[in-house]
Amino acid sequence: MKLSRLLAILSEPSVEEREISGITANLDEVQSGFLFVAIPGTRTDGHTFLNSAKARGAFFLIGERPAQEFGLNEKDYLQVPDSRLALGLLASAWEGHPSREMRVIGITGTSGKTTTSFLVESVLRAAGMKPGLIGTVAFRIDGKEIPSTHTTPGPVELQHLLREMRNAGCDSVVLEVSSHALKQHRGVGIAYDAVGFTNLSPEHLDYHFDLEDYFASKRILFREQADRSRNWGKEPKLLVHSGNSAGDRLLAELSHASPFSVEASVKIDAEGVRGIFSGVQIHSSLIGRFNAENIAAAVALTKSIGIPDAAITNGIQALDRVPGRLERVSDPAHGRIVLVDYAHKPDALEKVLSVLRPMRAPGNRLFTVIGCGGDRDRTKRTVMGEIACRLSDRVIFTSDNPRTENPEHILDEILSGCAASTNWVRESDRRKAIALALKEAKTGDLVLIAGKGHENYQIVGTTKTPFDDAAEARSAMAAMY
């Protein structure tokens, strides 16, 4: 692709006609003829690699600082106000703007993105469409599953995935859109047909300045990103979960948004969710009010782009499980109800436990295995401990990706929220903690293994080793028989 054609995306004047062979912000990927974009990161500043990129054969360089700082020729360098924004727009142009050729639905919020995206994907399939999926658990291209590295990948990878999807015949795509991705402009080149907001609770405060910054990042999808989508010829539908403070605030700030919520007549019990959602009859085996809210989001989003009611009904009913989201681990020999869930933040943990607690039969108990990740927001640890002890009958506190922190120190902080409780034990070895919960639990008891969900690894130090909560539960149960 011609450099002049690429830079026209940034509204820059014509430059010398040179053929560009690739785009990257990663020095290790630079080859002869590449365009290199210097990104100022939290740990390293890409501007320090500008001369190295040129030495490796980069034809053109982009950054936020003046060329003179690096002794660069201004003919080979463009200074821009925001490198991340430039990279996102250029990546889309490089791949030929694939999102403009498909129906695109984006979902953001603290909780519910994954389940809602799976529900939307199932509805689109029921409607005879060929959707792609990009999210926390996996990327799917024409039924082929690729393990995901981020909820929303970097702009070059993201646009390449979208192009792969389109080339494979996908006519639509469902994306989970994280606050990190929005703030870092990873998906700035995407043209959306519909976007949905699920909810907001404290999370990622190790990255965002505060809750206001977190909210502002989510809002980008409904303001700046929606405006760009309109400029590119689409009319994005904006759907927002009402009845919560963040959703109601977003609705008040947006002139073209529509609310959705769970209607009072909807029945939610241990059998699932049943009732009328936005005029559509729904029967789902997913349990809990939070899943009813995810269903409401999926119905609103798919109706907004004209999916027939019958396809919505069938698509919602067809999805009976989401990996790591209240995923049941079979225990036919002992009759315990064993569930694995990704709840790793206070709001999600409280919602899950509030769903499970009333499901106990008389005389049965609710066990929770829970920890908190290392090198992440420490403020939630005490809160998580308090919630677990208050809503469980028995808690086994353990490790959850301690990373470079001492697991015992993390547990000390969690347990500072449990001073008034005696219904807990600590076991920093997660494998032993899962086995302990299952050993203590009797027939009919509920055992929630929370925090890691779909993850199939454990990070200790800087090493990622295989570890799957569901597999560990099955192994522990097999050892008992």
Q: Where a domain ends, among 284, 318, 352?
A: 318
252-281 exposure pattern, b = at least 16 Cβ within 10 A, e = fewer: eebeebeebbbeeebebeeebbbbebbebe
- Is the pLDDT score of 204 beyond 70? no
Q: What is the mean pLDDT of residues 348-372?
A: 94
- 234 and 106 fall within a common domain: yes
Task: Tell me the CATH number at 180.
Answer: 3.40.1190.10
pLDDT for position 16: 58
DSSP 38: -
Task: Kindly report the number of other CB atoms within 10 A of residue 242's CB atom.
Answer: 16
Three-state DSSP at 296 gives helix
- Is the pLDDT score of 151 beyond 70? no
- Is the pLDDT score of 203 beyond 70? no
- 46 and 24 fall within a common domain: yes
Q: Where a domain ends, among 300, 318, 336?
A: 318
Instruction: Please tell me the distance from the alpha carbon of residue 62 to that of residue 470, in angstroms, as a whole number.
Output: 46
pLDDT in tens, 47-80: 999 999 999 999 999 999 999 999 998 889 999 9
pLDDT for position 467: 97
Structure tokens at 309: 């009611």
- Is the pLDDT score of 26 beyond 70? yes
Q: What is the mean pLDDT of residues 341-354?
A: 92
Instruction: Please tell me the distance from the alpha carbon of residue 237 to that of residue 257, in angstroms, as a whole number.
Output: 7
- 183 and 57 fall within a common domain: no
Structure tokens at 150: 């981020």
- 128 and 186 fall within a common domain: yes
Three-state DSSP at 151 gives coil
pLDDT for position 328: 86
Task: Tell me the CATH number at 425.
Answer: 3.90.190.20
pLDDT in tens, 283-300: 999 988 999 999 999 999
- 294 and 439 fall within a common domain: no
Three-state DSSP at 134 gives strand
Q: List helix spans (H) across 407-464.
A: 407-415, 430-440
Q: What is the mean pLDDT of residues 200-214?
A: 70
pLDDT in tens, 227-269: 999 999 999 999 999 999 999 999 999 999 999 999 999 999 8
Q: Where a domain ends, among 93, 119, 135?
A: 93
Range of the domain at 337: 327-480
Task: Kindly report the number of other CB atoms within 10 A of residue 428's CB atom.
Answer: 16
Largest Cα span, the chain? 78
Whether the CB-CB separation of 352 and 366 falls below 8 Å is answered with no
- Is the pLDDT score of 319 beyond 70? yes
Name the pLDDT band for 13 (thresholds 50, 70, 90).
low
Q: What is the mean pLDDT of residues 395-418?
A: 97
Task: Kindly report the number of other CB atoms within 10 A of residue 397's CB atom.
Answer: 25
Share of the chain above pLDDT 90, in %: 79
Name the pLDDT band for 342 (thresholds 50, 70, 90).
very high
Name the pLDDT band for 366 (thresholds 50, 70, 90).
very high
Structure tokens at 39: 């990104």
Name the pLDDT band for 202 (thresholds 50, 70, 90).
low
- 87 and 107 fall within a common domain: no
- 61 and 140 fall within a common domain: no
DSSP per-residue codes, 172-218: EEEEE--HHHHHTTTTTTPPPSEEEE----S--TTTSSSHHHHHHHH
First and final C-alpha spacing in the chain: 63
pLDDT for position 14: 52
Task: Tell me the CATH number at 33.
Answer: 3.40.1390.10
- 111 and 186 fall within a common domain: yes
- 34 and 159 fall within a common domain: no
Q: How far is CA 332 from the centre of its chain?
A: 33
Share of the chain above pLDDT 70, in %: 96
- 89 and 136 fall within a common domain: no
pLDDT in tens, 459-469: 999 999 999 99
DSSP 110: S
Element (H, E) at 315: helix 309-318
- 176 and 311 fall within a common domain: yes
Average pLDDT, the chain: 92
pLDDT for position 211: 85
- 223 and 87 fall within a common domain: no
- Is the pLDDT score of 282 beyond 80? yes
- Is the pLDDT score of 15 beyond 60? no
Listed as own residue / partner, the contacts of 22-25 with beta carbons closer than 8 Å and 24 or more positions apart are 22/94, 23/87, 23/90, 23/91, 23/94, 23/156, 24/156, 25/83, 25/87, 25/154, 25/156
Whether the CB-CB separation of 172 and 132 falls below 8 Å is answered with yes
Name the pLDDT band for 325 (thresholds 50, 70, 90).
confident
Whether the CB-CB separation of 190 and 199 falls below 8 Å is answered with no
**How many structural domains are present in the chain?**
3
Whether the CB-CB separation of 49 and 27 falls below 8 Å is answered with yes
Name the pLDDT band for 309 (thresholds 50, 70, 90).
very high
Tallying the residues shown for the chain, one arrives at 481
- Is the pLDDT score of 205 beyond 60? no
